[in-house]
Structure 1
Amino acid sequence: MGWKEAAEPVLTRMPTVTRPDGHVPFKKKLGWTAGILVLYFFLTNITLLGIHPQGGEDLFGQFRSILAGEHGSLMQVGIGPIVTASIVLQLLGGANLLGLDTDDPRDQVLYQGLQKLLVIVMTALTALPMVFAGGFLPPADVLQLGSLTFVGTQIQTLMFIQIFIGGVLILYMDEVVSKWGVGSGVGLFIIAGVSQLLVSGFLSMSDEGFFYSWYQILFTNEVTAGSWLSREGFNTLFIADGGGQLLALATTLLIFGIVVYAESVRVEIPLSHARVKGARGRFPVKLIYASVLPMILVRAVQANIQFMGQILNSQWANMPAWLGEYSDGQVVGGFFYYTAPIYSPNDWMWWTGQVPAGIEVWQIFLRISVDLTFMVIGGAIFAIFWVETTNMGPKATAQQIQNSGMQIPGFRQNAGVVEKVMERYIPQVTVIGGALVGLLAVWANMLGTIGAVDGTGLLLAVSITYKLYEEIAEEQLMEMHPMMRQMFGKG
């Protein structure tokens, strides 16, 4: 008996959100999407029962704009378990170890059940060390609930249960949006988190706020006449979080412009209908063909490596220096330092005086090289995995064109022939697009962004918003012209 037969009774009984029987009106889709978004913000503001008032250190702090959620809340793990489970399934599927045919309805159910089971397992594996190791989520001394008194491990167990429930909730919230709403829940939560950081980065009344910083510069003589030409003045106006942040503003605007432009760059392959004369169309192969979403997988691998380093540092008193050196909770040397992403200009601009003491220039450049290599090569590899596992590859695309009755003018109406044409474009564009997105993500982090948004998070937010706009436009078109739903196969 194979693993599918053994696991089928469990995987087919995993709770699932029922798909709508027919067409869901556009207004109803918007209602479901808005409702889930409000619920998400509500859950991120529910503090874990039993957590110490100080809250502890956020292990995913620098990756929070990608993994969503909120430290110390029910949404503690964010979409991390969903992303990690996707990585595992993509690797297993890419190596053809699962033996699942996604065109087979039975195997589709098994795949979806396996994905949910993996997310639940990853939620537990992520929450356990957060709660029970290292003091990252320190419990209160005593918790009184009515006549019940909780202390020590009892409080930690209660916190773990809350985080686990939050992780399961975000899994099914994502499924609700995917089946009943517009776009996907994962994309929606990323947009919500990044938008929140951007707005607070502009409007915050602290020194990190862009407008407040400029108010100080213009009206409190923080930068006196002529001093902006000095190193300190340049740092204040262009780089420092408590200064003008002009570099961060320019980077943020450039990322918006580059991603929108890249989304519009495409190779259009002409199509014509084999039986309906005059019926023509085009199949677009975009520069960012695999979208920016595979970058979540790359950053998630980096986040898990840093997560492991933090756990080892908290539990291993005499961890070897070559493995990792930590100061005030920040990695400053060893393997975990070189594999840590560049988060901001202060991580590499040694002349500003913000780089921790003792770190040599060659160490900084080695860290930049590792981050750049990891993101560019990882972006290309995960883009290929993404295209193959989401039926966007040459073979799957050729079959879809064949099934729609379309063909490429001048070529025989044959799936194999169409596949050969697609192989001229899709693999090359996928690799170039994935590498380009990785390069942009590192560049954005190195120069900094408003609100200290991670470069990958900003790329994701812009790209997902652009695609969401396109999907909304398509939904409105099909709402106005019901016959269009049959053409798109969404009737």
Structure 2
Amino acid sequence: MSWKEAAEPVLTRMPGVTRPEGHVPFKRKLAWTAGVLIVYFFLTNVFLWGLPSADAGQDIFGQFRSILAGSQGTILQVGIGPIVTASIVLQLLGGAGLLGLDTSDPRDQVLYQGLQKLLVIVMVALTAFPMVFLGGFLPASPELAAIYGQTTIQTIIFAQVFVGGIIILFLDEIVSKWGVGSGIGLFIIAGVSQRLIGGLFAWGGLPGEAGIIPTWFSILLGQASFPSLLTGEGLQALFLGQGALLAIITTVFIFVVVVYAESVRVEIPLSHARVKGARGRFPVKLIYASVLPMILVRAVQMNIQFLGRILNARWAGMPAWLGIYNDQGQPVSGLFYYLNPIQAPGEWMWWLGEASQAVWQIMLRVGIDLAVMIIGGAIFAIFWVETTDMGPEATAKQIQNSGMQIPGFRQNIGVYEKVLDRYIPQVTVIGGALVGLLAVMANMLGTIGAVSGTGLLLAVSITYKLYEEIAEEQLMEMHPMMRQMFGGR
């Protein structure tokens, strides 16, 4: 008996959201998407019962919050992390040919989706358990612990975090089946947008808490002191301090580059074999695999840092070569320091005096971060293309099944695959490496609201694709025959 036959009774009975039986009108899709978004924002403000009111513990995912779409100390503590981790595991197993599943087969497709959901549930538990019981990142309230016991309160906190991870899984499934785009993308846009708006417009009571626009108003009105621009201190304050000019330039630059890269494409002409005069184009974009594979790279780095913090919290005699941590729970030397991605200009601009490491240590960390993101971006982009049926072979089948053909070539899947093989693999690698480079560059220079470079890239790219999908949905609503021609319902 194969593993598929043994696991089929479990995987096919995994709870899920029912697919719509027919075409979902565009307005209804928007309503479902907006409803899920409202629920998401509500849940990010539902705080875990059992935590001290003044402290939710160290946010071990702080530097990855913009791509995890979660909120510290709330029921959505783990965010989309378990979903991403499960995707990494499945991609690695599928890429190595260990699953033996053909996603074009309806039966295997159901098994794949059930396996993915089961893995997500396991990952939620594996993420929440050490967070609550081992690392002390979510401490229980001393008052409640004295009444009910520390273990009891921690168990209740674990149950809340676990339920939150399952809720976000089903919210993602609702958007994917009934809404526009994907839930993961929607939640990332929501989280990044919050931080961008806060970084621009927030009115803080303490110095450094206000957004860029209120800060500039205070400076122009003379309510805040600002050093002379003719001094080095003034230029530093303008670009890296209160003025945050470098963050503004970096954010705008990333936005322009991603939008431009999304529009750069090689268009392969198509014509319909049965409908005379019906023509189209298959675009092979520069960022063909999208920016989503960057989540996978960052998720690997996040899990490594998570492991380092747990070891530091539980292993008193951890060797120095593995890592030495400061009072804020950040590695300052050792292996975990070099594998920790750069998150702000002060972490590598040694001349600012914020970094305590030697110049060669800082440069080695920057070099490792660049190598991981560029090489990892290219590798995960290839995995993404192959596992989401975007590769040359799968695309050639889709073209033939849709009734389209490439003019000037025989109507044969093998021929179409050779044509697509000239472009897709090369563009996938180049696009993945480019996105990795942009992500590191944005982190190193800083962005509005201290959004991570990966988070900003994801938000811009996902928003652009969401705009394209909405435009396509509106076109299909206006011309229903087009939906039938391209295999829609």
Structure 1 match to 2:83: 82
Cα offset, 1:345, TM superposition: 0.3
Match of 1:314 in 2: 313
Q: Identical aligned pairs, as a percentage?
A: 73
1:215 and 2:213 equivalent? no
**Which residue in 2 is equivalent to 1:39?**
39
Work out whether residues 26 and 476 of structure 1, in 8 Å CA contact, stay in contact via their aligned partners in 2.
Answer: yes
Q: C-alpha distance in 2, partners of 1:19/1:32?
A: 13
1:213, distance to aligned residue in structure 2 (A): 2.0
1:376-411 Cα shifts (integer Å, max 9, x gaps): 000000000000000000000111111122222221
- What amino acid is the match of 2:244? Q
Partner of 1:115: 116
- Relative to the length of structure 1, the TM-score reads 0.96
Distance 2:426 2:129 in 1: 42
d(CA) in 2 for partners of 1:216 and 1:310?
39
TM-score (norm 2): 0.97
Residues 162-241 of structure 1 aligned to structure 2 (within 5 Å): 162-206=160-204, 207-208=208-209, 209-218=211-220, 219-220=222-223, 222-224=225-227, 227-240=228-241
Describe the SS at the equivalent of 2:282. strand
CA distance in 2: counterparts of 1:116 and 1:200, whole angstroms:
34
CA drift of 1:221 comes to 5.6
Of 440, 449, 454, the match for 2:447: 449
Contact 2:82 2:120 in 1 (8 A): yes
CA deviations over 1:346-395 (Å, ceiling 9, x no partner): 1111111222x2x0000000000000000000000000000000000000
Q: Is the 8 A contact 2:402 2:485 kept in 1?
A: no
Query: Compared with structure 1, are the counterparts of its residues 139 and 274 closer, same or farther at alpha carbon in structure 2 (3 Å cutoff)?
Result: same
Matched, 1:133 2:134: yes
SS at match of 1:228: coil
Code of the aligned partner of 1:81: P
Residue 360 (structure 1) aligned to one of 353, 358, 361 = 358
Q: Give, as a single letter, the amino acid of the residue that structure 2 aligns with 1:222.
A: S
Shift of 1:229: 2.9
Opposite residue 374 of structure 2, the aligned amino acid is V
Does residue 383 (structure 1) correspond to residue 385 (structure 2)? The answer is no
Give the letter aligned to residue 84 of structure 2. V
State the shift of 1:220 in Å: 3.3
Q: Which residue identity does 1:354 align to in structure 2?
A: E
- After TM superposition, the structure 1 = structure 2 runs for residues 421-436 of structure 1, keeping only pairs within 5 Å, are 421-436=419-434
Which residue among 456, 459, 482 is the counterpart of 1:458?
456
Q: Is the 8 A contact 1:142 1:151 kept in 2?
A: no
Once the 2 structures are TM-superposed, how far is the Cα of residue 159 of structure 1 from its aligned partner? 0.2
Is the 2:402–2:487 Cα contact (8 Å) retained in structure 1? no
Separation of aligned partners in 1, 2:38 and 2:150: 34
2:255 matched to 1:252?
Answer: no
Q: Deviation string for 1:200-230 (max 9, x for gaps)?
A: 0011223241112213332236224xx2232
Q: Which amino acid in structure 1 is aligned with residue 59 of structure 2?
A: D
Cα separation, 2, equivalents of 1:168 and 1:231 = 51
Q: Which runs of 5+ in 2 are unaligned?
A: none
User: Cα RMSD over matched residues?
Assistant: 1.2
SS at match of 2:256: helix
In terms of mean alpha carbon deviation, does 416-425 or 405-414 score higher?
405-414
Tell me which residue corresponds to 2:333.
Answer: 333
Say if 2:402 and 2:486, in contact at 8 Å, map to a contact too.
no
Name the structure 1 match of 2:92: 91
Cα distance in structure 1, aligned partners of 2:9 and 2:411: 42
Aligned to 1:266: 265
Is 1:100 the counterpart of 2:101? The answer is yes
Runs of 4+ in 1 over 6 A off after TM superposition: none
Q: Tell me, in whole angstroms, the C-alpha distance in 2 between the residues paired with 1:156 and 1:411.
A: 65
In 2, the alpha carbon distance for the partners of 1:291 and 1:270 equals 22
Displacement of 1:488 in angstroms is 2.8
Q: Which residue does the alignment assign to 2:289?
A: 290
Instruction: Confirm or deny that 1:10 pairs with 2:10.
Output: yes
Say if 1:141 and 1:151, in contact at 8 Å, map to a contact too: no
Q: How many residues align?
A: 482
**Whole-Å separation in 2 of the counterparts to 1:157 and 1:123:** 14
Partner of 1:438: 436
Kindly provide the amino acid, as one letter, of the partner of residue 240 in structure 2: I
1:41 offset after TM fit, Å?
0.7
In structure 1, C-alpha distance between the alignment counterparts of 2:79 and 2:127, rounded to whole Å: 10
- Paired with 1:458 and 1:71, the residues of 2 have a C-alpha distance of 20
- Residue 289 of structure 1 and its aligned partner are, at CA, apart by 0.3
Counterpart CA distance in 2 for 1:12 and 1:211 is 53
Retained in 2: the 8 A contact 1:56–1:137?
yes
Output one character per residue of 1:258-307: Cα deviation in whole Å (capped at 9) or x when no partner: 10100000001111223433222111100000000000000000000011
Question: Shift of the alpha carbon at 1:339?
Answer: 0.5
- Between the aligned partners of 1:37 and 1:90, the Cα distance in structure 2 is 28
> What is residue 305 of structure 1 aligned with on the other side?
304
> In structure 2, how many angstroms separate the alpha carbons of the residues matched to 1:274 and 1:195?
44
Q: Is contact 1:67–1:79 with CA below 8 Å preserved after alignment?
A: yes
Structure 1 unpaired stretches of 5+? none
Is residue 79–residue 165 contact of structure 2 (8 Å, CA) maintained in 1? yes
1: CA distance between counterparts of 2:353 and 2:232?
11
Secondary structure of the 1:284 match is strand
